[in-house]
Amino acid sequence: MDHAGEWKTALPTKLDSLHQSKIDKLKSLHGAEFSSRYNLDQVSGHKDAVSLFERYAKGGDDPNLKEWAEKTLPTLWHHLEMAQEMAAGKPVESTRCRS
């Protein structure tokens, strides 16, 4: 079900201070330090996304948005799994992504 244009919201034009500080930190790192921080940030970000979508799928107030959150969760879980594998130093094949 496509609901494009159904929801009206203002999108942010810049990152909030927490996320900007993460970008700034990454800019200062190189090599293994960069990779390690990037991988940890990916795991953290995907955990946050899964949590947000799970909460909305269970208790959100817009039925269409709840349905979309529920349908999107398997992809987010898969991306979290890939981020965790990457952080653990396991090779992650892009062809495995189902999104």
Give the model confidence (pLDDT) of 9-58 as tens digits: 888 999 999 999 999 999 999 999 999 999 999 999 999 999 999 999 99
* pLDDT at 72 > cutoff 50: yes
* pLDDT at 82 > cutoff 70: yes
Amino acid (1-letter code) at residue 30:
H
Question: Is residue 86 a part of any domain in this protein?
Answer: yes
Question: Is residue 21 a part of any domain in this protein?
Answer: no
Question: Is residue 20 a part of any domain in this protein?
Answer: no
Question: Is residue 25 a part of any domain in this protein?
Answer: no
Question: Is residue 47 a part of any domain in this protein?
Answer: yes
Q: Give the C-alpha separation, 77 to 19, whole Å.
A: 21
Give the structural domain span for 37: 30-96
Question: Is residue 6 a part of any domain in this protein?
Answer: no
**What band does 2 get if pLDDT is binned at 50, 70 and 90?**
low
Overall number of domains in the chain: 1
Question: Is residue 46 a part of any domain in this protein?
Answer: yes
Any alpha helices (H) in the chain, and if so which ranges?
17-27, 31-59, 63-87
